[in-house]
Structure 1
Amino acid sequence: MAFAGLVFADSGANLAVLQQFEEPDDLDEQLAQPDRISLTQKAVKFRAGNKLIEVHLSATTMTRLATYLHIRQSLVDALGSDIAPMFIRCSYPKAYHEPTSISPLRRDFLQTLRKRVKAIGVNLGDVTFQELRVFKQQDLVRRAPLPVAAKLMGHSVKTAVKAYSKASDDIHRRELSSFLESLQETVLKPNQRAIKGVSLQVIPVGSCAEHGKPSSVKASAILEPNCNKVEGCFFCDNYRIHADELDLRKLMSCRWVLQKIVPLNSDSLQAYRVYTAICDRIDALLGELKRRNPSMHETVRVDVEENGQLTDYWSRKIQQLYLLSMLPAA
């Protein structure tokens, strides 16, 4: 039941659809080579109502899907019976005893899940399926075009527009204003090499306005700025990047290496959160660089992503990972 809750939170599917999900014939192939939607999202297709439904899951949840299926099959083997739905609940004669049967998820799934996790000291909070879906919808429309968000949520574009409009206008204005101000301050003109008379110091992902004096972008940043760690630069007030070919290549090289190493920490929730935050920051900066110079962005993208032409720093990093056998041989 806990894993079904993760799938619901990731996908935003309503309970009726979640109850219908069945294992497709090609699920093993999908898990071996999942469709990548973004740096942090992957797609899988489940069967429901005689058709395939595309579901977007976080990279972490996707890696755990195979483990869940293995546990499910072990239960089936032990109990000697199986049912069509992929997501199931176990029945226990008494607390802390072995399960005696499996059955489909029921309408009281959320209440039952809340009760079971509370028994181990975890409080899920008093939230409904509808509230979770509304939150998921608003998160999706911020990250993807409305038609894509509507398709993922399984309803019309009109419904997606209504859900988006329900969000507070003041919150959106504050978020947008803060976001744009941050980009404008961080991304510099190609020929700007100093700020207030102080020369910028070159770093592997751009430049630094005051190296050795890290300053957090905001108090709630998931990663503390740290001059000794490249990833800490993205959450520092002193971080700067030029709208030129060199810094664009630095950012794309960094993202290319991150795509390689994320599976190494796929089972760590904290590592996944940090990875997601870094990727979101990089994508925002790349979006601003693309807006300023689309042709340069495309040229460097092809050079890095398709031809593997990384900066020297990131080339050495990826070589080190191979030498340490932390990545499979190409």
Structure 2
Amino acid sequence: MDAANEDERHWHRLQVAGLAAKAYATLFLMITGATPTELDQFSYTDALEVEKSPIKKELSAVKFRAGGKTTLYNIGRDTGLPLLKEYLKLREWILNGATHEGLFFTMPATSERISTNPEFSYLKTTEMMAGFFRSISGTFLDPTVRILSARKMRKHKSLGMHTAGVSPSTVAANLNHSEAVNLSTYSEATPEQQAAEFGLFWRAMHHAAYVVRERSQRPAKGEVATATGHCDEFSQPIPVRDFGAVAIEPNCRSQSGCLYCEHYICHSDEEDLHKIVSLQYVINSVRKAAPDAAHAEALYKELSIRIEFILEALGERSDAVKQLVEAIKVKVFEYGELTPFWEKRLSRYEKMGVVF
């Protein structure tokens, strides 16, 4: 034991260092969202530039499945850069004066019979990951923890960015594929996330039904007319309870936010119906004309569904109200007759260059 401890480059130390190097490679696979083929191409020269430059923060690789396109992968200066600096120190100690072009590499087998001039070969990430997870399962990780493939890591990165509200175009660019590929393959939510979203959706729908069914009457004393209906406590916005985070926070200066406020009231008369259908028309116009269609869809889809549910709930009150709802929809969507407020808002968008 004493003899081993006195040897700074004992084979067991090299073995543990090799395990640590694989852990760093796995971390960078998670951070960058690169494919194994691309991670294998990350160069030591690129890494040195990232470490020393105050601006550069990407590692590059050639994506063969994209016709030889050069791709860049951001490691992040807050989390990835400190990890890179740690790894470069470990890398220098492992090489011990030897050189290697790749940022990551495969170490020779470490044992008591290790040669004095070991050879370091290029990393094969797929093989490395399988062996790495086998070696840490049951020792550093609970054996019940499932092994993540590189594809699942990319998917988790994509879902994390979508959950954080990053636009689909940015997420796709970060993972170096098209928006179509990202939305079709890397955007499927987990069962737990789907359950939470559906729960939030139905709570919102039940509250909307309560608002229009219990309060659908002529404006009472103290109610203030708004661009989307009426309000019984103007300038005191309160988010609807039990909704959690919503896409649009209640704000008396933001008319669309009224639909997520405890004080919002929609009456089953021509005045309020014309207001809310006009809002629906503007929302749908913006969704269709936005340059980042996917991002606009994600932002306004819930609001559009909420408006439609309120209209359906109002229509269920009586045949007369249902006929009035249909008549207002024809008036707005076929003839383009909006309320003065929403007509001015739409004109303002057109002056800004938004083409409908």
TM-score by length of 1: 0.48
Higher strand share: 1
TM-score normalised to structure 2 length: 0.45
